[in-house]
Amino acid sequence: TFASLTVDPLQWQPINKMKTPTVIKPEWYFLYAYAILRSIPHKAGGVFTMFAAIAGVAVFPMISGPEKFQSMKVCPLVRLVFIIWAANYMFLTVIGA
Q: What is the pTM of this model?
A: 0.56
Q: How many residues does the chain have?
A: 97
Residues 61 and 75: their CA atoms lie apart, in Å, by 10
Residues 6 or more apart whose CB falls under 8 angstroms from that of 21 comprise 10
Closest-CA residue to 34 (of 85, 81, 86, 94): 94
Which of the following CATH numbers is that of domain 25-96: 2.40.10.480, 1.10.287.980, 1.10.1660.10, 3.40.50.150? 1.10.287.980
In this predicted structure, what is the pLDDT of residue 63? 64
In this predicted structure, what is the pLDDT of residue 74? 67
Looking at per-residue pLDDT, the higher value among 13 and 46 belongs to: 46
Residue 57 CB neighbour total at 10 angstroms: 11
In this predicted structure, what is the pLDDT of residue 15? 78
The one-character DSSP state at 42 is: S
pLDDT tens digits, one per residue of 19-69: 877 777 777 778 888 888 888 888 888 889 888 888 877 776 676 565 665
Task: Evaluate if residue 96 carries a pLDDT over 80.
Answer: no
